[in-house]
Amino acid sequence: ALADRGVCCIDEFGCMSKEDRTSIHEAMEQQTISVAKAGIIAKLNARASVVAVMNPAGGIYDENISIEQNSRLGSPLLSRFDLIFVMLDQAEEQRDVNIAHFLLQQSIIPGSAYDRPLDTETKFKEDDINGHWSMEKLRSYVSTVREKFQPTLTPEASDLLYKHYNLCRQQNGDGQTIVTVRFLESLMRLSQAHARLMYRDQVLLDDAVAVILLMECSAASSTGIYSGNGGTSFDFDDCFLHKSPIDTEFPPFDQTDIYFANEKQSLLQKYERSGNGSPNHQGEQM
């Protein structure tokens, strides 16, 4: 309730009691929390985005079993999260070098992270050098677009989201997490959020493509596609959609548009090959 219209961050999510889990169910489904104290019964608004972090049961993630078994949270609660990422701390030389370099650089340069004093920030001007926005500017932008835009879906975006949802439903059924209507609702919410991020009031095809690619990063890390568990929502030859988020490398700024255009083209070609019809096409066939 304190995070109403904001972001609620929860650490050690798996250590919640049964009573707390019941409350979080209500908060994530209805965006309210029921309170009954001292004879007073009330409902408090909890219109917040939930970011939760937890360790696997037993402290070690078993790649041979599902995420439901590793987390012991159950499908009803997990399905309420739009995105789920499994971050495994595996020894890899280049990744370890990058992490160590980042941490050491923060120690070498006076100040660290987002608490760096303003005079230090001005002195080093890292945001001007690498093209990143400052935290103050980013907060202002997010606050502006969240209040200004309420995006609506265009027919092209709706058609692509439907195809993705329908294909996931068809490919799902081999012991994986059941794809429900909540999955489609997540696609819609994330598409609208991406449209806001791009400063527009319509969800275009590019927004739908970006969200599908993001969703498949979530699927790649949470369904065991790289661990031989066979957990994939797609049956394409190369499964190009599935990319582990922990191994993803962002392209240089001057190549991001080209990189996205190539992935967009590949994605649309894959759906053409899948022959997955839209709701309108199905209605005509009926």
Please state, rounded to an integer, the average pLDDT across all residues of the chain: 77
Residue type for 17, please? S
List the structure tokens of 144: 């502006």
**pLDDT surpasses 60 at 204:** yes
Q: How large is the average pLDDT for residues 177-196?
A: 88
Of residues 191 and 285, more confidently modeled: 191
**Nearest alpha-carbon partner for 6 in 195, 141, 142:** 142
Residue 98 and residue 170: Cα distance in Å, rounded?
40
Rounded to two decimals, the pTM is: 0.75
Of residues 106 and 51, more confidently modeled: 51
Among 10-14, 63-67, 154-158, 234-238, the minimum mean pLDDT is found in: 234-238
**pLDDT surpasses 50 at 233:** no
pLDDT at 175: 46
pLDDT at 283: 40
**pLDDT surpasses 50 at 231:** no
- Are 177 and 68 contacting, i.e. CB atoms less than 8 angstroms apart? yes
Q: How large is the average pLDDT for residues 255-279?
A: 77
**Nearest alpha-carbon partner for 224 in 112, 102, 97, 56:** 56
Q: How far is CA 100 from the centre of its chain?
A: 26
| Residue 184 CB contacts under 8 Å (≥ 6 apart), including other chains | 161, 162, 165
Whole-angstrom CA distances from 75 to 71, 88, 207, 233 are: 10, 21, 27, 17
Highest mean pLDDT of the ranges 33-47, 222-236, 269-283: 33-47
Of residues 156 and 106, more confidently modeled: 156
In this structure, the chain runs to a length of 286
- pLDDT tens-place string over residues 26-83: 888 888 888 888 788 888 888 888 899 998 888 888 878 888 888 888 778 888 888 8
pLDDT at 177: 57
- Are 222 and 85 contacting, i.e. CB atoms less than 8 angstroms apart? yes
43's enclosing H/E stretch is strand 40-45
**Nearest alpha-carbon partner for 76 in 33, 31, 43, 29:** 29
Residue 184 and residue 38: Cα distance in Å, rounded?
41
